[in-house]
Amino acid sequence: MDIKLKNISRKKSTKTAVFILTVILIVLTVVQFQFVSYNDIIPESLIIREYSQSEYFLTQEVRNAWYEINSVMENRGEVPKSAHYYYFISDGEKTYSNVEGKDKNFFKQFDKAFYSYEMGTWTIGENTNPGGITKFYVSDGYTIYISYPDEFINEKQQEWEESRNILVPFAVRVGVLAVLILTSIIFLMVQTGKNQLDDEIHLTKIDSIFSDVLFSFFIPLAAFWIIGISNLYYSGMSHVRQMYSAVWIGIITAFISVMCGIILLSLTRKAKSGRLFKHTVVYLVFYKIYDFFKSLYDGRMFERYPLTKSLFYRQLVFITSSAFLVFLTFLFFLLYVPLFLIPPVVEIVIIYWYIKGNNKTFEDINKGFNESLGEQMKAERMKIALVTNVSHDLKTPLTSIISYVDLLSKEEDLSETVRDYVNVLSEKSNRLKNIVSDLFDLAKSTSGDIPLDMESLDIKKLIEQTLGDMEDEIEKSNLQIKTKLPENSLNIYSDGKKLYRVFQNVIDNALKYALPGTRVYVELEEIDGKAVAKIKNTAGYEMEFTAEEILQRFSRGDKSRTTEGSGLGLSIAESFTNVCGGKFKVEIDGDLFKVQISFNLDK
């Protein structure tokens, strides 16, 4: 049974229904208060049974009477004829009263509301509520009697009881509503964040807002509610206007209740999950400041580097102890204590310890660096040797495969299907041969063990020769080659065969990956004593890589691999350019892919 009730209470539909019920109860309560205010019912009548004993009587009737009488004393005027009370005022020379020929006993007979001022002292009737009348200031020399007739008091008492008769059932209704609202809110606060599957607190999207930001929303919401209520209510409204005002007040109250309820439940979930205070802007700001200063001393940034961490802590100890010794030196000196020479001596010892410890750490760091560098160099040499050996070992069987495939292709009695298979084998084996050759060349150029035939050559003619040799590939590519070459020759000192391979690879890369129907630009110019060649094309795919990434071995920009390639072309071009004494640079600007190759001119 308990489990069943637990499941029901944690259902989203149940919590939603209780939330809506709570909003409705709040709206009903506010509307109840609004109707009471429309009827000008005095809340004090619910607590005080006697009208003459109420604070309302003292503030609304007696105080007003006092203001009118005080005006008479100051302006030598008269109290309005419509006054509901009897009064007598005398300063010893002139007398004002609305009951001629009456003495003090006449006023005292109305002991439910009798007030007297004589000899600088206020007195009251036996059944009169003292209230605050004794605080009214009157100049000495005045005699004042004020009383209210029983008829007036009885009439007001009847109105007072009528108000009480309305307020008692109203108070009962409001009390019941308050209990229901409080019970519903407690239920929602207990169940919010929980579900039927576990007892964990599950946060929602609104809980991602900082707690103090959420809490600050209460202020504008409360202001909006107060302003809305104030603008919709004024005294003397007709019954129709009262109904219209009540409807709008209910709508505004419902909206504010929903918003405040959402915020309250969010803050409750945060409190239950332990994130109420920690997930605030104020906490985060102060924590960041605290954490920053703490990071200056705890050495967390060097956690993975023991040697650097030892340097940091040694430095921290050195700075702290030195500052303390400097303080001691000045203190001893100001106090004329002969011990002021001791801190400098201790400082010398600390400096010696600091330098000696640092030198030892630096030696360990250099040793570790050299060992790491040696391991890297060894790994690189092994990798290059592996690639070279594998490439060399693949050449012999691959040559045999190509030869036998060539022999098969010359057989005349092959069926069309078999001949297609032979053609595929020939194509793929030749491609594999090119990849192996590329690997071998790349390994040799990377290791530096590559023969070079350096000579003075015209780079302009080399580019023209490369374009001429690739004419068939250019025609098949459906691309236009636009050249911009200087009229005069530009001589550089390089290896012509290697540089021919560089331009071949770069232009071939442009033909493979350029957007169909666009142009490939091949330019050459002299800039600051250098021959600078540029090959530019518009990519036919989205280039989601950097210039550094595309120059990595086996890296291809076309992730879908819709074109054939080994991913070594640009890497080989860069390697050959470097060993030939030039500079190879790739630039990416949106869809524009640009390769720049530069060499010093041979003077």
Q: What was the pLDDT predicted at 259?
A: 93
Q: Is residue 34 part of a domain?
A: yes
Domains contained in the chain, number: 4
Average pLDDT over residues 264-290: 89
Q: Is residue 282 part of a domain?
A: no
What is the overall mean pLDDT for the chain? Answer: 79
The helix or strand, by DSSP H or E, that contains position 283, with its residue range, turns out to be: helix 281-298
Q: Is residue 278 part of a domain?
A: no
Q: Is residue 464 part of a domain?
A: yes
Claim to verify: residue 458 and residue 495 sit in the same structural domain: yes
Claim to verify: residue 263 and residue 354 sit in the same structural domain: no
Pairing of strands 592-600, 480-484: unpaired
Of 467, 539, 475, give the one whose Cα is nearest residue 510: 539
Q: Is residue 287 part of a domain?
A: no
Q: Is residue 288 part of a domain?
A: no
Q: Find the domain containing 375 and state its range.
A: 306-450
Residue 243, pLDDT above cutoff 90: no
Domain termination residue (choose one: 272, 295, 326): 272
The helix or strand, by DSSP H or E, that contains position 146, with its residue range, turns out to be: strand 143-147
Most trustworthy range by pLDDT among 34-48, 66-80, 281-295, 424-438: 281-295
Residue 293: pLDDT band with limits 50, 70, 90 = confident
Q: In the sheet that 121-124 helps form, which strands lie side by side, from edge to edge?
A: 95-97, 86-90, 143-147, 114-118, 121-124
Indicate yes or no: pTM above 0.85: no
- Name the token pair of 165: 């008769």
Q: Which of 64-68, 144-148, 424-428 has the lowest mean pLDDT?
A: 424-428
What CATH number is associated with residue 368?
1.10.287.130
Residue 21, pLDDT above cutoff 90: yes
Q: Which of 94-98, 114-118, 482-486, 508-512 has the lowest mean pLDDT?
A: 94-98
Local structure of residue 515 (DSSP, 8 states)? P
Domain termination residue (choose one: 124, 148, 172): 148
Average pLDDT over residues 172-192: 90
Q: Is residue 299 part of a domain?
A: no
Q: Which of 150-159, 310-319, 334-343, 534-543 has the lowest mean pLDDT?
A: 334-343
Q: What was the pLDDT predicted at 196?
A: 73
Pairing of strands 583-589, 519-527: unpaired
Residue 180, pLDDT above cutoff 90: yes
Average pLDDT over residues 435-460: 69
Q: Is residue 337 part of a domain?
A: yes
